[in-house]
Chains A and B, each alone.
Chain A
Amino acid sequence: MHRRVVVTGLGVCSPNGIGLQDFAQAMTAGKSGIRFLSQLEELQFGCQIAGEPLITDTILNRYFTPLQRRGLNATGIIYGVIAGTDAWADAGLALAPKEHPDWDSGILFGTGTLGVAKFREAIYQVDDKNVRRLGSTTVIQTMASGISAYLGGILGCGNQVTTNSSACTTGTEGVLMGFERIASGRAERMLVGSCSDSGPYVWAGFDAMRVLPRTYNDAPEKASRPMSASAAGFVPGSGAGALVLESLESAQKRKAKIYAEVLGGAVNSGGQRGDGSMTAPNSEAVQRCIVKAVEHSGIQKSDIDTINGHLTATTKDALEIENWSKALGRQGDDFPHINSFKGLFGHCLSASGSIECVGTLLQFEQQKLFGNVNCEDIHPEIENTIGSNKIPHKTMDYRPKIIAKASFGFGDVNACVIFKRFNDET
């Protein structure tokens, strides 16, 4: 029997809200964070809309010292530091004293690629034979582990401090990696999360693959349409989400607020075999991941009352629903409630899993299911599989007991985590 692990802190920097309060309000009200970006128009992108957190100078000054701000050109680090330090404070945890780190606290903060704009600056300098003018921050802003390194120094964590990367699965995978470290007794607290840079250099490759919507540049809020018959591709996003995971003993000793328990989960890969490829999921692997997550969590398939899907607003959404339905052996009105938050802030890539986990967990606290936007016209294949009443269009009052959250990523990789409303007695 492993140690029980609970969530005691949340932080978020999302295109539709920075900080828990703004984010919760936006999710409840269905406020979109997707906007037209003139820079993408100037660069002649097909898709000229995106989800990008609105960072002001006031916000930057709250989280960064004047020295840290000098030459700071890595949006992923900005978003990750905001979400990570907020989650730490939300958990009621203090920064480690100046002399010694907190040996029992670690960080696992993932990213896809970091400091892309900073790297671009450096490339120009290097090609200009001006290496000596790079300064000292090029390395720390462009190394993948830059985000865990920044947070590690701010918080003073002395346990494992590292970065994972598994494309759009990154954030959800990170929850399970942190969970395992605490469950096995190697840490008391793990700050887990992920971030993704903003900007044309991150999003261009997806535009080139023609997987982004091109016909909604004048209607950004309508563009991201998970589960809709008129879904036209995913809207690129960015930001960060963070969770403080903690052993139940440590949380109870501190009398910390508990959002939910992490019961367990599973990660796997389809090996790019069968119908899986670099960019398409192997359905057998997806179903297997969900089944293994249920088994590992010690629950029955019928116990799940809510799902937060990956559901990016591509033609693959119907396949994802079919995979959930087959994996859980549930269909029609027997299927759990399901939502996708990407309708409101797009697909935040390596940050998507953690921002969506934060939203998922807020549903326990707020006793609500956040509504799905832009799917008035539910895809017919989805309607054939599950009851359309299982897809709330507006935020509704509800007390979820067990929520399954999954993310899938390029490379044919999958992660599914099971959260449970916290109950002291079980």
Chain B
Amino acid sequence: MAQEERYAKLKEIIKIYLPEDVSVNDITMESHFINALNINSANLVDIILDVEDEFDIMLENEDMEKMQTVKDALIIIDAKLSEK
């Protein structure tokens, strides 16, 4: 799976959690989930579950703590996929 494809899939996951005034086009690699995209922190655990389902991987507690930005998420996904 190409990096581009993973990024697109991740954006698709994030989309539903965005508040009304944030568009999917506002998402960049550098976007911070809570500070930049204004995602409710409670929903971060749902994003993690969606990522696990979509990529068929399992994230550990420390992965979750590291996952602050879109880029962080992609790095973790890449690492998990390469372990498979």
Q: Is B49 an interface residue (CB 8 A)?
A: yes
Query: In whole Å, how far is A383's beta carbon from the nearest beta carbon of chain B?
Result: 58
Query: In whole Å, how far is A64's beta carbon from the nearest beta carbon of chain B?
Result: 12
Q: Is A205 an interface residue (CB 8 A)?
A: no
Q: In the complex, A133 Cα to B45 Cα: how many Å? A: 9
Residues B16 and A135 in contact, CB atoms below 8 Å apart: no
Q: In the complex, A136 Cα to B43 Cα: how many Å? A: 6
Please encode chain A, from 115 to 137, with 1 for each CB lying within 8 Å of some chain B CB and 0 for all others: 00000000000000000010111
Q: Is B46 an interface residue (CB 8 A)?
A: yes
Q: In the complex, A137 Cα to B17 Cα: how many Å? A: 13
Closest to B15 in A: A66
Query: In whole Å, how far is B20's beta carbon from the nearest beta carbon of chain A?
Result: 8
Query: In whole Å, how far is A362's beta carbon from the nearest beta carbon of chain B?
Result: 35
Q: Is A70 an interface residue (CB 8 A)?
A: yes
CB-defined contacts of B17 to chain A, threshold 8 Å: 67
Q: In the complex, A133 Cα to B48 Cα: how many Å? A: 10
Q: Is B42 an interface residue (CB 8 A)?
A: yes
Residue with the highest number of chain B CB atoms closer than 10 Å, among A133, A136, A137: A136
A46-76 interface with B by 8 A CB criterion: 66-67, 70
CB-defined contacts of A70 to chain B, threshold 8 Å: 16, 46
Q: In the complex, A133 Cα to B46 Cα: how many Å? A: 9
Q: In the complex, A67 Cα to B50 Cα: how many Å? A: 13
Q: In the complex, A102 Cα to B64 Cα: how many Å? A: 37
CB-defined contacts of B42 to chain A, threshold 8 Å: 136
Please encode chain B, from 52 to 73, with 1 for each CB lying within 8 Å of some chain A CB and 0 for all others: 0000000000000000000000
Q: In the complex, A70 Cα to B46 Cα: how many Å? A: 10
Residues B16 and A66 in contact, CB atoms below 8 Å apart: yes
B1-57 interface with A by 8 A CB criterion: 16-17, 42-43, 45-46, 49
Label chain A's interface by main secondary structure: loop
CB-defined contacts of B45 to chain A, threshold 8 Å: 135-136
Query: In whole Å, how far is B68's beta carbon from the nearest beta carbon of chain A?
Result: 18
CB-defined contacts of A133 to chain B, threshold 8 Å: 49
CB-defined contacts of A66 to chain B, threshold 8 Å: 16
Q: In the complex, A137 Cα to B40 Cα: how many Å? A: 12
Query: In whole Å, how far is A393's beta carbon from the nearest beta carbon of chain B?
Result: 51
Query: In whole Å, how far is A8's beta carbon from the nearest beta carbon of chain B?
Result: 29
Query: In whole Å, how far is A109's beta carbon from the nearest beta carbon of chain B?
Result: 22
Closest to A133 in B: B49
A399-414 interface with B by 8 A CB criterion: none
CB-defined contacts of A67 to chain B, threshold 8 Å: 16-17, 43
Query: In whole Å, how far is A89's beta carbon from the nearest beta carbon of chain B?
Result: 19
CB-defined contacts of B43 to chain A, threshold 8 Å: 67, 136
CB-defined contacts of B16 to chain A, threshold 8 Å: 66-67, 70
Q: Which 10 A-B pairs have the closest CB atoms?
A: A136-B42, A136-B45, A67-B16, A135-B46, A136-B46, A66-B16, A135-B49, A136-B43, A133-B49, A67-B17
Q: Would you mind naming 15 contact pairs between A and B with Cβ atoms under 8 Å apart? A: A66-B16, A67-B16, A67-B17, A67-B43, A70-B16, A70-B46, A133-B49, A135-B45, A135-B46, A135-B49, A136-B42, A136-B43, A136-B45, A136-B46, A137-B46
